[in-house]
Amino acid sequence: MEPFPSDQIQLPRNMIENSMFEEEPDVVDLAKEPCLHPLEPDEVEYEPRSSRLLVRGLGEHEMDDDEEDYESSAKLLGMSFMNRSSGLRNNMSIYRQNPNGSCSVPSTRTMVVCTVVLVIAVSLIMVIYLLPKCTFTKEGCHKKNHTMELIYPLATNGKIFPWAKIRLPPDVVPLHYDLVLQPNLTTLKFAGSVKIVVNIIQVTWKIILHSSGLNITKATITSAGGHQAKPVEFLEYPLHDQIAVMAPEALLVGQNYTVNIEYSSNLSDTYYGFYKISYKDENSKQRWFAATQFEPLAARSAFPCFDEPAFKATFLIKIKRDEKLSTLSNMPKKATTPVTNGIVQDEFFVSLKMSTYLVAFVVADLKNISKETNGSLVSVYAIPQHLNQVGYALNTAVKLLEFYEKYFLINYPLEKLDLVAIPDFQSGAMENWGLITFRETTLLFDSNTSSARDKKLITAVIAHELAHQWFGNLVTMEWWNDLWLNEGFATFMEYFAMEEIFPELHSDEDFLNLIFKAMMKDSLNSSRPVSSAVQSSEQIEEMFDALSYIKGASLLLMLKHYLTKDVFQAGIEVYLHNHNYGSAQSDDLWDSMNEITNGTLDVKKLMKTWILHKGFPLVTVVRKGKIISVQQEKFLYRAEPENWTTDESYLWHIPLTYITSSCNFTHCTNAYLLDQKSAVIELPEEVEWVKFNVDMNGYYIVHYAEDWKTLIHLLKKNHTALSPKDRANLINNIFNLASLGKESLEKAFELIDYLNKESSTAPLTQALFQLSLIYSLLEKKGEQQLAARVMHRIEHLLGDKIDQQHWTDDGTLSERELRSTLLAFACTHDMRNCRRTATEMFEKWMNSNGTMSLPSDVMKAIFTAGAKSSDGWEFLLKMYSSSVSEAEKSKMIEALASTEDVRKLIWLMQNSLEGEVIRAQELSHIIATVSQSLPGYLLAWDFVKENWEKLTRKFHLGSYTIQNIISSSTSQFATKTHLLEVKSFFESKSEESSQLRCVKEAIDTIQLNIQWMEKNLAKLQELL
């Protein structure tokens, strides 16, 4: 899945636990409840968030990882009974005092009670004395057949649900699904039935699978040899989206059974599962469209299934539909047969073995164009009025498919590949096998309104999703902890393929900027390792972040350069061949690479230091004559103990690369593996300068100590001695080191003084990014005069470059993209004559009633200037509603969100959330744009607070969209008041909200902003 580029309730747990003490739990003895289904050992765990039934029983149960859950349950039970006992004690006093102060003699009854209590107490003491010591240790006594208080959750009907873990049991595996669906685009509901052939791995009485929000009306089971379907009881446990099919007899090892379930549901009004979309056709008539988005956990809301990536199976899909509509699914259509008046059924060929999250279907009125390549028919589909915008995507997809087949030495295994533009889609795209779904802006290219940047975005997203047909679909990560195997690989291949096939797009520069942003996230305390343990739905959703995608991809880039491209490619081929149609873990990839390195390098040992540790290293370089000393430490913002170096877990194996003044071409790159805390490199001769991390191909930051002066001098004298990526790398590193306190801000400003001679996009973009961060913090802190001086410095460096830009679409793609960046920036900040020129062009366009053609590369700058006036804003909104170009509408939205009119900003955010005039898919981008402006940044945060429940219902807690909304609406804060407000807000929400990693990142970022201002405000006043 490609998250859309960001540029572009349960009770709190403590409340639930406290509620246990308000009412005694039911206690059921299994031995006295013959009606209950037999419970199998080792299938319960403490579930603190649900209603629960306490079950006391004996069973053979070895202590395992869930022991702490049981222990905490026992404590809860103990506390509950203690509360009851203490109540009795408070009401009992066997000696009563007379009014005169003497004690009366206790009654006979009282004496008997006391004697009994004393006997019980003595007995308990003796039992405790005689029990083995291990009884009172945390580990307990490891004996078979020992007694354990087991805790099972309750199903919706009040019966015991026989499974308490979030993960499904391994005793039953699916082999094949027969799925029949009938969506109704009038009632917006759907009916379905599914037959699942399962194989039994361990004897069991139950089949646990996933179901979410489905109204199940019937369930039966049939044995392999049997012809009669037997009705079965089914239990539902919505907290884990699970159902249990209770078999009438034991299910035997090695046997196949067929589970048949009939159900119905509503088409979803979120972006998950089988969901509905409304759009207007060519005649402005409202039409409906049904599509799917199952990754990561939503297949279960369209049909009952084993909804975990490792449970791969084949699928036969049949869809009943209105004969005026069309359907698409993963496989080619096999047959269409009439059902009743106006309703037909499409049957698709049986799929390859795949995970549930890759199943897909679309029901809509669509048109397409197609092209065949190497036995596969590639088609691009869109709603009829957009058919003239799909040509670029088709040609691009065919080129990329052919490239991947050659590179992987494995042909695309399906007979067809469909790419479908969906009118309302949360992420950028989704890699469903054979049926890739896209947001319209990431697939449709309009030659009149799509810019150079739009073309690059479309190419990148198609390249990403096609790479997934191998990485993710053919070989799938076993569990979501290794999501990077899917997303990191697809991101790496996306940029690699673009460099190979479309070098004129200079996509490597975009990747560089993404790596810089990923490192910002990875330098926080709240970061995580690339491969991280996850269980809950929120944790799984949060894995779709810059670390899985960008850090994962950059680690593969670093490995490719270290192993050499041929060895790396051979390792990939081994990995895909060894695990095709199966699942894999990170170690499987390293083992495949080791098959090729054949003992010359332990890739697993090297890469585990990167995959299993959060953060990245800071390498300090000190040069004396021919001797270079290198030392690594962890690059980390905020406090951590100074003596962290004693912790070997923070020792990376770093493939260092460097070039020197004696030979600075790419073929002269030197390599050195730093696998110790420090090392010494001896050069063959003395050199004028040395530059480490060539082209930023390594995931680390370099501090040059005294050599910064040398590099600053080199940039002023002869900046082209270093590549554009190396220059961008130096700018990024020195500003990060200044933020860390390792270098002075003065030196960082000195380094970028050469920029008036710079003409490459990468270093200019990086410098603008760093200076804009400083400007935004100062502006939002109320330091307007100082912020203006930062802008004056930018104008001094880049003013001539801005003046040289033409308001046309001429030049190379790289030149055109730089023009877009510089003019949009200049118009936003009213620099040079930019806003005046843009406003004049906007007024001409408005006077032509939008019929005049505008240069696509500068369209955003023109719209942004036009939206500053009330009339211009209203006209732009009118044109947005009638435009058929998604590329044009995207630029209009950004311009509308750039106004300084507070009422218009509030209306825009509210309207996007409602999804009527402006689609909800745009909301994240609107909030991010609103947050950038001085009047907007507080409004955006207020909007998020006031609409939190609606936002998390629409976009799901932890999703990429929610991550972006939280980040963009809080990242400008730099005061302790705002820090407290953000903390308090999320603490007042559910535990799931407050524990989100993106919330912790937001808090870390605000604290860093505060620190940065405290350290640098006075320095900036001197510098500027």
Question: Could you tell me the maximum CA-CA distance found in the chain, to the nearest angstrom?
Answer: 109
952 contacts 996 by C-beta, under 8 angstroms: no
* Pair of tokens at residue 322: 């209105």
Geometric angle at alpha carbon 14, from 10 and 18, rounded to 5°: 105
Burial (CB count within 10 angstroms: exposed 0-12, middle 13-18, buried 19+), residue 584? buried
| DSSP H helix total and E strand total for the chain | 31, 32
DSSP string, 201-227: SS-EEEEEEE--S-EEEEEEEEESS--
CA distance linking residue 749 with residue 794, whole number of Å: 11
Distance CA 684, CA 128 (A): 75
Cα(858)–Cα(816) distance, rounded to whole angstroms? 9
Q: Cα 766 to the chain's mean position, in Å? A: 25
Task: Tell me which H or E stretch contains 631.
Answer: strand 627-635
Burial per residue of 2-19, b for 16 or more beta-carbon CB atoms within 10 angstroms, e otherwise: bbbbbebeeebeeebeee
The set of long-range contacts for 495-502, using a CB threshold of 8 Å and a minimum separation of 24, is: 495/460, 495/463, 495/553, 497/400, 497/403, 497/404, 497/407, 497/463, 497/467, 498/459, 498/460, 498/463, 500/403, 501/399, 501/400, 501/403, 502/459
Tokens 């330091």 sit on residue: 783
773: burial class by Cβ within 10 Å (0-12, 13-18, 19+)?
middle
Radius of gyration in angstroms for the set of CA atoms belonging to the chain, rounded to a whole number: 32
CA-to-CA distance for 562 and 704, rounded, in angstroms?
22
- Please tell me the distance from the alpha carbon of residue 820 to that of residue 814, in angstroms, as a whole number: 10
Select from 730, 500, 519, 726 the least CA-distant residue to 637. Answer: 519
Find out whether 993 and 797 touch, Cβ atoms under 8 Å.
no
CB atoms within 10 A of CB 599: 6
Catalytic residue among 431, 465, 750, 779: 465
Q: What is the DSSP string of 685-698?
A: S--S-EEESGGG-S
Please give the Cα distance from 857 to 859 (Å, whole number): 6
Rounded to whole angstroms, the Cα distance separating 313 from 352 reads 8
485's tokens: 């195997």
- From CA 422, how far away is CA 438, in angstroms rounded? 6
Rounded CA-CA distance 235/206 in Å is 10
Query: DSSP class of residue 6?
Result: S
State the DSSP code for 49.
T
* Residue 916 falls in the annotated catalytic set: no
Contacts of 117 by beta carbon, 8 Å cutoff, 6+ apart: none
- Which residue numbers are catalytic? 465
